[in-house]
Amino acid sequence: MSDQLLIASVSASVIGFILIYAFFITKSVRKVPVTAAGNSNGKPSSVTTKTVSIHGECRSVDDADVIIVGAGVAGAALAHTLGKDGRTVLVIERDLTEPDRIVGELLQPGGYLKLIELGLEDCVEDIDAQRVFGYALFKDGKNTRLSYPLEKLQVDVAGRSFHNGRFIQRMREKASSLPNVQLQQGTVSSLLEDNGTIKGVMYKTKTGELTKAYAPLTIVCDGCFSNLRSSLCNPQVDVPSCFVGLILENCQLPYENHGHVILADPSPILFYRISSTEIRCLVDVPGQKVPSLSNGDLSKYLKTFVAPQIPPELQAAFVATVDKGNIRTMPNRSMAAAPYPTPGALLMGDAFNMRHPLTGGGMTVALSDIVVLRNLLMPLHDLHDSFTLCSYLESFYTLRKPVASTINTLAGALYKVFSASPDEARQEMREACFDYLSLGGVFSNGPISLLSGLNPRPLSLVVHFFAVAIYGVGRLLLPFPSIKRMWIGARLISGASGIIFPIIKAEGIRQMFFPATVPAYYRAPPTQ
């Protein structure tokens, strides 16, 4: 124990030094009001794919300020937000019946605070949503509980877990209750483009009628399987794993009102309550394929390989659920935001940016993005000057970065650290991470604040990530170092760098850590 305390003290000293340094660095950066600028990523602003000419014969609609494609979490929340600000909004959603998904079921406390900011907090009421106060980690028969730092917040602030479809339907109802928001069921086939500017969309209504809708601003929120994103960004979609989803009924979690993460072999298993009687289980399977469900391979895999690794309190319910056969799968996708700033159009939600769902950060990012966009659009009464608006809204991509990139990077890094590996250095990193979080105090509060979205600061993420690595090296070298242990320690630091730096590079180092140095940060709203 004394060795652990010594290592922890060294790690704390490293954290303190870097945070003090970061304090003076951030103090030296001049803060200014929200603004915008030119194309920071060097991508072409013209649209060349998934668009059609605005000429042709079909019915047209031309009375909206904003068209939103998709009415999922991002689309429905955005529709209500812009409608509440007095804008006329047309939402086109492929299917307005209640969705049935196995992700998007856990909203972090940071996301709940964004719901409050948008006036949507009542959407988690009357859907049997469950409060979430933190996480429990399990590894090799050991477990530790990590509580969200909620002491200084309002009493109702916590995470929420629920059926995704119920939550979305509540937001759709709230959006459609506004007289200036119209929800239509239809399938958008293309964006309407004229001389490089998006003028609206072409879609097929529920009755099969081909229709064109026009608005000065079109916002694409059509989800992770978006068929329109390639027109507006450079989509580099990665599929690191798949989730196998089950619902366990009438059983108890070891720690109620907590998400449960089992550091299993080969990758994590999640449990969290989505109603008063149901517990969601998500089994991560690395790669793009899972064992076949039709021939029984998947059921056999779950019962013989996965079940022995989960807490004993859940094993009987887990096996019973597998035997019932109600098993679903979905790919886990990640995609860094790489937009082409395009006059008349904007990407939001999973169509724009995805991360591994292990940390449950997707809805927090989407809602945070909506707050940023609302604040940018609020001073504008007229959206018809597409090129000026496009230049101004480039600030959106910079202003969202500190929050979004922190959550994205944490999700990608944690998934790799929590996954089993034959590499001895990676095994040490995994063990060090579990033990580091088990220390409590600043060692658990810092990372859980990042995970919860309550303190999404990129520098804090990097500090804690390498503090874990240093802690792991210290464990190797005490009480007596050896050549082998020193070599493993060096590989541990190298492996940690190889995990986090590629993710940071994809997010954009400058925008992530130094957003105030990006010209887009300073552009004022256009004069109207």
Q: Is 186 helix (H, G, I), strand (E, B) or coil?
A: strand
- The CATH class, in words, for 66-127+162-237+335-384 is alpha beta
Both tokens assigned to 480 = 């007596």
Sheet containing 142-147: which strands, arranged edge to edge? 142-147, 134-139, 259-262, 269-273, 278-286, 238-249, 328-334
Residues 6+ apart with CB under 8 A from 145: 134, 135, 136, 137, 255, 258
**pLDDT for position 186:** 97
pLDDT tens per residue, range 23-80: 443 333 333 333 333 333 333 333 333 445 444 456 666 689 999 999 999 999 999 9
> Where exactly are the structural domains of the chain?
66-127+162-237+335-384, 238-332, 411-512
- In CATH terms, the fold of domain 238-332 is Alpha-Beta Plaits (3.30.70)
For the whole model, what pTM was predicted?
0.89
**pLDDT for position 50:** 46
**pLDDT for position 23:** 40
Residue 280 phi/psi, 5° resolution? -80, 135
Residue 51 phi/psi, 5° resolution? -130, 155
**pLDDT for position 294:** 92
d(CA 334, CA 337): 10
**Sites in the chain below the pLDDT cut of 50:** 1-2, 5-6, 10, 12, 14-15, 17-51, 53-56
